[in-house]
Copies of this chain bind each other. A is one copy, B any other.
């Protein structure tokens, strides 16, 4: 009964809605995300996912209609984490009375935090996002939109408030900022993992604020 709350032990108690099923699904997501990030979707077998999650293969098909659907739900779940985190960062900066540029900077930080916390998920998005002719193409379009829109929103407000030039191309700038953080962070993780996140953040802030080519 509920007094035993944590059940098996390692699993968080959570509120009423958390059923045994939710736990199993989460374990499957975690197993799938790392395997797919490492090997790609097609090279990852359902048997492997089940094994790493510590469940039987039949359980995978009891919880998801297919390997494909497991993956799509994974994508949707992941982007929710990112978009929420970006939005909170932007709102937080605004609440603290910062400018819109401060909000952008806070979003860069949030992006770095996200990539540091979920590197496998990030790798997986990058690998799939610009592919064509994939079954989950439409899911990815939505997913991308969800994240880019948050950045565009802040840029738009900054232009309206006179903080940024009206000449900037908002969608393209949003993409470019996104790419800047993404690639810098992936390279950081892959090739210079010893560096601190503050260090990386500071370098990117400098780049954002146009001090790279700034002649004093």
Contacts and interface: CB of A to CB of B under 8 A. Distances in A.
Interface of A: 37-43, 101, 123, 126-134, 163-165, 167-169, 171-173, 175-184, 186-192, 199-200, 203-204, 206-215
Contact of A42 (B40, B173, B180): B40
7 shortest interchain CB distances as A-B pairs: A210-B210, A179-B183, A42-B42, A175-B187, A176-B184, A169-B203, A180-B180
A164 B213 contact: yes
A169 B192 CA distance: 12
B184 A172 contact: yes
Contact of A128 (B127, B175, B214): B127
Nearest to A41: B40
Report the copy number of this chain in the oligomer.
2
A213 B206 contact: no
Contacts of A214: 165, 210
A186 B134 CA distance: 16
A173 B130 contact: no
A104 to B, nearest CB: 9
Nearest to A123: B130
Nearest to A209: B213
A212 B165 CA distance: 6
Given A101-B213, A173-B207, A173-B212, 15 more contacts: A41-B43, A123-B131, A126-B130, A164-B212, A168-B212, A171-B191, A172-B200, A175-B183, A176-B204, A179-B179, A179-B183, A180-B183, A183-B183, A208-B213, A210-B214
Nearest to A38: B133
10 contacts: A123-B131, A123-B132, A165-B212, A165-B214, A171-B187, A175-B187, A176-B180, A176-B184, A179-B179, A210-B211
